[in-house]
Amino acid sequence: MVASYVSMRNCSLRERRGSSVSLTIDPAQFQSSTLQISPIHEDIAEELELRKPRRLTRYQLRHLDISASLSKIYGEFASLPSPSTSSCEKVAGCSQKNRHTLWPIGETRVRLSSNYRASCNSTAEDVCRSYINANYILDSNSKLMYIAAEGPMPNTVDDFWLMVLQERTPAIVMVTNLEEKPCGAKLPLKKCDKYWPDNHACYGEIDVTVVSTNFYDGVQIRHIVLNYDDVEHHVRHIWFTEWLDHRLPVQYITQILKVIVAMESYRNEHQRLSTHAGPIIVHCSAGIGRTCTFIAIALGIDQLCKTPENIDVFSTVSRLRRQRFGAVQLPGQYAFIYLVLQRMERLLPEFFAQSDQDKFPACLSFSENSKSESGNDDELLWNNQVDLLCNNF
């Protein structure tokens, strides 16, 4: 149930949240803006590493004994490329806009356009206003698919909503709680600030209205409408609440798959209604561990459905690391990607590999009960793999 209306006086949130944002958005820009991103550069050593045969077919994925292959999978993780911090762009005067000490990779970082804000008094001020800790994520075909971002803070909430509007994002996927209590800790730690209203609020000069909220097991989905001047933008906010930091949501794998299917359905809906559908924003707290593990799973499912003879987790994560510094932090997260892809393969209809390969699967919905993950020898082996991965994480 959505909480009661919370009123706010009609003023800029800069006074309340300390943001540096002051927006003047030109609605015409939303009709003509295009994004130019250069393909991610690879050095020779990394290219040779990527060419090593690590690809799986759908059949091999189905029958992969992850528990027996765990040391090999961890070895893969250890050999992933780790870009130097020199690839990150430290923007002067913007450290307070970082939740942690990590900076985004300069080549792919999101820049908030000066077309959408008032003129600045200096070049330095303009550069700082354009900064947000987020990176564009391209797939293996250099198609813009996602933005990996930090969880918003009080002084970056306005920036975050500007990014949603600027990029015409069809969906936001949140894979963190607002606060989380680490194992052994006495007090919870702040992971992300609540950046959406209960009903309606003004963030900078963007009106944000929550139209509806639906609750499922471990998932909340909000239909949100943004308004600025004559511009109206609809976005779905998908909050997966069962993925705690440095843990694996192994009991909610089917829910993760449902989130991905729902996310893609919103992307397709935007593409039908508009000539342009922007990238989906995914964030946790730092925007590198859970965020990039989720993105790698989604990209892997796309491979599973479109090119079932060429499923390559190593290559996918390697590309992610060249676009978002520190992507997929832990070996357990890397192995979890295999586990979730294997689960998706088992849930896909058998005929799907031969037909409709241009479409993302729509075989899961939140209205359906999760399929049983036990009941035969094959599923028992899968459950044993889940237990082993948890014990080794």
Tell me: the pLDDT tens digits for 32-63? 334 445 445 555 555 555 556 579 999 999 99
| 47 occurs within a structural domain | no
Residue 295 CA to residue 333 CA, distance in Å, equals 12
Is 329 annotated to bind a ligand? Reply is yes
Is 286 annotated to bind a ligand? Reply is yes
Is 289 annotated to bind a ligand? Reply is yes
Q: By residue range, what is the domain housing residue 119?
A: 14-19+56-392
For 244-261, letters b (16+ CB in 10 Å) and e give: bbebbbbebbbbbbbbbb
| 192 occurs within a structural domain | yes
The set of residues, in sequence order, having a beta carbon less than 8 Å from that of 127 and lying 6+ positions away, is 91, 92, 93
| 330 occurs within a structural domain | yes
Q: Which residues are marked as active site?
A: 284
Q: Which two tokens stand for residue 208?
A: 């944000």
CATH number for position 317: 3.90.190.10
Domain count, the chain: 1
| 277 occurs within a structural domain | yes
| 165 occurs within a structural domain | yes
Q: Is the pLDDT of residue 213 over 80?
A: yes
| 30 occurs within a structural domain | no
Q: Between 349 and 340, where is the model more confident?
A: 340
| 8 occurs within a structural domain | no
The average confidence (pLDDT) of the chain is 81
From the number of C-beta atoms within 10 Å of its C-beta (0-12, 13-18, 19+), residue 57 rates as middle
| 296 occurs within a structural domain | yes
Looking up tokens 């250099």 gives 142
Is 202 annotated to bind a ligand? Reply is no
Q: Which two tokens stand for residue 32?
A: 């003509």
Q: Is the pLDDT of residue 297 over 60?
A: yes
Looking up tokens 């593990």 gives 293
Residue 44 CA to residue 27 CA, distance in Å, equals 44
Q: What pLDDT does residue 130 have? A: 93
What mean pLDDT comes out for the span 124-137? 87
Q: What pLDDT does residue 277 have? A: 82
